[in-house]
Amino acid sequence: MSLYCRNFSNLIAKRCFASSSKIPDLTKDRYPIQRGQYAELSDKDYAQFESILDKNRVLTGSDTQGHNIDWLRSVRGYSNVVLKPKTTEEVSEILKYCNSRKLAVCPQGGNTGLVGGSVPVFDEVVISLNSMNKIEYIDEYSGIVTCQAGAILENLESKVQEKGLCVPLDLGAKGSCHIGGNVSTNAGGLRLIRYGNLHGSVTGVEAVTATGQIMNLMSNFKKDNTGYHLKHLFIGSEGSLGIITRLSIQCPTASKAVNVSFLGLNSYDDVMNTFLMAKKELGEILSSVEMIDEVSLNCSNKVFNGQSPIDVFPFYMLIETSGSNQAHDEEKLNEFLRKAMESSLVIDGVTTNEPGKMRNIWLMRERIADSLINIEGYCFKYDISLPLTHFYEIVPATKERVGDLASFVCGYGHIGDSNLHLNVACKNFNQEIYKAIEPFVFEYTSKLKGSISAEHGIGFHKTKYLKYSKTPEAIAFMKQIKELMDPNGILNPYKVLPL
Ligand code: FAD
Ligand code: MLT
Ligand code: ZN
């Protein structure tokens, strides 16, 4: 079999946004929030931006609309300016100026974020990284790749594949999200069980602080113990401490042998025990373990005309192996499946190494998010870490709590990383259902000592719930770090930290 690394064009994020006719309420009208004491844009400011960038990289009026609404259509700002720098120096000039004027800014990558962090809340200046998309250098010996932050994940994947490598991160939004956005959110995704999170893979970042200072923390080495590991402050801080402009990331060798199994199971307990068995039997070749409930799969297949390769079950699992020897991997996978079926954990399933068939199975999974926001009109999304012994209980508990207010409640996610995506679909956003779900979901998660954000971040939507996952001392320390790095509070205000 030829060198294969999963890479199929995925226009999920772009397509959905373009087809949407629903424009959400302005954030300031939907949520009780007051604009901070920031300056308002004047003609002088537009002129200054045009002197830093060319005129055509200063978007105003209707050109800003897509940058004001998030992918979920859950929040909407009313910024009248989007700046599109091409270099780190331009980002630095912009931030120096905004800081001196006390103009608030909102850094934006591919705008696929799911927590309302990527768009302005009021009239913040949007700094879009779209034009900073150069892939600068691929070192095929070390696997370290250097690029600008605005490189689209899927483009980066294609480039590194040419050198026999793969990006250690994969997610359904790959056709639109930026690697810089991924690093800023510490995105998890579908390969985390194999390669770990971005705190481990990103070897260096270059970031511009709120005052315009360029922090060169680039490194071409995995091993670099020279003082405080400052790069970690920018990884996962969602644009609240600086704008990432460049980064280096360690890309592993692409696997020669990939197999995908899609399994049907009768209960959540069977899912949990199948995962345990998969870890024991498949060991180092295990590269993804996903769980999907019946409602989630139905929704994906209904909206996208997908076809499940097996019959209907209450639960499904998608298990992927990636290794270097097809015969060896198949032998292990077959042995695992034999044991799982003999012990009646798995009732039915298919296994394939054909790229087209693997792609179709992955698409059923990756399209769930998109199908959920299109099927009814609105979707409340929760992205939580929970102990596996209680992982799925919150789905029926939420269903019972919301009753008829919701069209349906479903759960799926990265069970291999204890990360559940709980979703509540309804016709439109309304206060009654919102109050029924929040803070219920976060209280429930906290009681189980889970995390209220496994991978999507805090953004705008979860700031007041941070306390369910962090102590008062930790939040106070975060606020001190924010004040030190952004004394005027201009970077992505109203996000991450509670007000
Ligand atoms: P944006 O959405 O533009 O921004 C996200 C946050 O990062 C914002 O706070 C923004 O201010 C900040 N930011 C962006 N770029 C920079 C920068 N260069 N410097 C500083 N701050 C910046 N997420 C997962 O973790 N796992 C998944 O499996 C997953 N699957 C998804 C599937 C779909 C279909 C969709 C729509 C989203 C999915 N997401 C997933 C969420 C989202 O794609 C990720 O959070 C992604 O990392 C966001 O990247 P982005 O470039 O779109 O950033
Ligand atoms: C996923 O795993 O599909 C994403 O994180 C998006 C979602 O939560 O729906
Ligand atoms: Zn996810």
Cis amide leading into 439 (omega within 30): yes
CA angle 182, 184, 189 (to 5 degrees): 30
- Distance from Cα 143 to the centre of ligand 3, integer Å: 25
Sequence-distant (≥ 6) Cβ neighbours of residue 325 within 8 angstroms: 256, 257
Q: Which of 34, 183, 176, 178 is nearest to 104 (CA)?
A: 34
User: In this predicted model, what pLDDT tens digit does every residue of 76-130 receive, in sequence order?
Assistant: 999 999 999 999 999 999 999 999 999 999 999 999 999 999 999 999 999 999 9
Total number of domains constituting the chain: 2
262 shares its domain with 245: no
Judge if 265 and 245 occupy the same domain: no
Please state, rounded to an integer, the average pLDDT across all residues of the chain: 95
Type of residue at 194: R
Cβ of residue 209 lying under 6 Å from some atom of ligand 1: no
Report how far ligand 1's centroid is from the alpha carbon of 211 (Å).
24
Say yes or no: 291 and 208 in one domain: no
Q: What is residue 15's predicted lDDT score, i.e. its pLDDT?
A: 39
Q: Is the same domain home to 234 and 305?
A: no
Same-domain status, 266 and 223: no
Task: Residue 384: count other Cβ atoms within 10 Å of its Cβ.
Answer: 27
What is the Cα–Cα distance from 70 to 17, expressed in whole angstroms?
Answer: 9
User: 267 and 342 in one domain?
Assistant: yes
Residue 499 lies in a domain: yes
Q: In Å, how far are 189, 220, 384, 387 from 415, measured between CA atoms?
A: 11, 32, 11, 10
The last residue of one of the domains, among 368, 402, 420, is 368
Ligand 1: does its nearest atom lie under 6 Å from the Cβ of 147? no
Residue 412 pLDDT class (50, 70, 90 cuts): very high
Residue ending a domain, choose from 306, 340, 368: 368
Radius of gyration of the chain (CA): 22
For residues 171 and 228, membership in a common domain is answered with: yes
Give pLDDT tens digits for 240-278.
Answer: 999 999 999 999 999 999 999 999 999 999 999 999 999
- Domain check: are 292 and 235 in the same one? no
Q: Between vectors from CA 387 to CA 462 and to CA 362, what angle results, nearest 5°?
A: 80
Regarding whether 151 and 247 lie in a shared domain, the answer is: yes
Whole-number percent of the chain with pLDDT over 70 = 96
Q: How far apart are alpha carbons 41 and 51 in whole angstroms?
A: 15
Testing ligand 2's pocket by substitution, the residue of 292, 300, 421 carrying the most ligand atoms inside 8 A of its CB is: 421
Domain-terminating residue out of 338, 368, 398: 368
Helix 368-375 with 355-366: angle, nearest 10 deg: 40
Instruction: Measure the CA–CA gap between 487 and 100, rounded to whole angstroms.
Output: 11
Q: Is the pLDDT of residue 327 over 80?
A: yes
CA of 188 to the centre of ligand 3 (A): 7
CB 131: neighbour CB atoms within 10 A? 16
Same domain, 51 and 159: yes
CATH at residue 319? 3.30.70.2190
Q: Are residues 53 and 111 in the same domain?
A: yes
Give the closest residue (by CA) to ligand 1 atom 49. Answer: 181
Helices H / strands E in the chain, number of each: 19, 16
Task: Tell me which residue has tokens 């976060």.
Answer: 442
| Edge-to-edge strand list for the sheet holding 81-83 | 58-60, 81-83, 125-128, 105-108
- φ/ψ region of 382 (left if φ > 0, alpha if ψ in -120 to 50, else beta) reads beta
In a domain, 495, yes or no: yes
How close is the Cα of 54 to the center of ligand 3, in Å? Answer: 38
Measure the CA–CA gap between 316 and 331, rounded to whole angstroms: 22
DSSP per residue, 300-353? HHHHHT---SS---SEEEEEEEEES-HHHHHHHHHHHHHHHHHTTS--EEEEE-
- pLDDT tens-digit series, residues 359-398: 999 999 999 999 999 999 999 999 999 999 999 999 999 9
Whether 405 maps to a domain, the answer reads no
Average pLDDT, integer, range 211-228? 97
- Domain encompassing residue 498: 38-254+460-499
The model's confidence at residue 449, banded by pLDDT at 50, 70 and 90, is: very high
pLDDT band at 21 (very low <50, low <70, confident <90, very high): low
In angstroms, rounded to a whole number, what is the distance separating the alpha carbons of residues 260 and 353? 6
Greater pLDDT, 17 or 68: 68
Residue 449 lies in a domain: no
Distance from the alpha carbon of residue 297 to the mean position of ligand 3, in angstroms: 15
Q: What is the pTM of this model?
A: 0.96
Q: Evaluate whether residue 57 is within a structural domain.
A: yes
From first CA to last CA, the distance across the chain in angstroms is: 55
Q: Reply yes or no on whether the pLDDT at 9 is more than 50.
A: no
User: Relative to the CA of 132, which ligand 1 atom is closest?
Assistant: 18
Longest CA pairwise span in the chain (Å): 74
Best mutation site among 383, 418, 420 for ligand 2, i.e. most ligand atoms within 8 A of its Cβ?
383
In CATH, what number is assigned to the domain containing residue 470?
Answer: 3.30.465.10
Binding site membership of 117 for ligand 1 (Cβ less than 6 Å): yes
Q: What does the alpha-carbon distance between residue 81 and residue 126 come to, in Å, rounded to a whole number?
A: 6
- E strand or H helix that includes residue 14: helix 12-19
Residue 415 lies in a domain: no
Residue 370: in which H helix or E strand, if any? helix 368-375
Residue 231: pLDDT over 80? yes
DSSP 8-state secondary structure symbol assigned to residue 286 = E
**59 and 207 together in one domain:** yes
Cβ–ligand 1 distance for 72 under 6 Å, the answer no
Q: Is residue 265 part of a domain?
A: yes
Residue 321 inside a domain? The answer is yes
162-203: pLDDT as tens digits:
999 999 999 999 999 999 999 999 999 999 999 999 999 999
Q: Which of 72, 368, 374 is the pocket-test mutation for ligand 2 (most atoms within 8 Å of CB)?
A: 368
- Evaluated on CA atoms 360, 365, 371, 376, the torsion sign reads positive
